[in-house]
Amino acid sequence: MTALPEPADRGSLDIDPAVLKKIVEYAADTAPATRHRARTVAGLGVGESRPSARVSTRSDDEIDVRLWVTLVYPGPVRAAVAEVRERVAADLRRMTGRRLRGFTVEVSALQSDRATEPETTRVH
């Protein structure tokens, strides 16, 4: 049996930016404070708006992320964004070994959390 060469001598692993983008979007999508929003064109439903990201690679181990999300309303926006950042950074580090360098979030909408709203009756 022959000994394997050291890991650094065996080759390299390249991760496509599209994969990094999917990891970021999934991490943001699974954060408790983010929501999906209905999309409409000319009044017709055309699906849902989910978190969307743009990823830029800075070096072999650092990336910058720009993220668009819908957050639950009412709720603390700063705390929600901090939680999303922590989740994204942890998932990127765990899955790819990459470090989150820059993180910009645009809150594209606030959506009420139907589960916490009091029930009201409407008068017709």
State the Cα–Cα distance between residues 82 and 8, nearest whole angstrom: 35
Whether the per-residue pLDDT at 92 is higher than 50: the answer is: yes
Check residue 117 and give its pLDDT.
44
Whether the per-residue pLDDT at 39 is higher than 70: the answer is: no
Whether the per-residue pLDDT at 84 is higher than 90: the answer is: yes
Identify the CATH number of the domain defined by range 14-112: 3.30.70.1350
Residue ranges of the domains in the chain?
Answer: 14-112
Whether the per-residue pLDDT at 118 is higher than 60: the answer is: no
In percent, how much of the chain has pLDDT > 70?
Answer: 85
Q: What is the mean pLDDT of residues 14-26?
A: 93
pLDDT, the chain, mean: 85
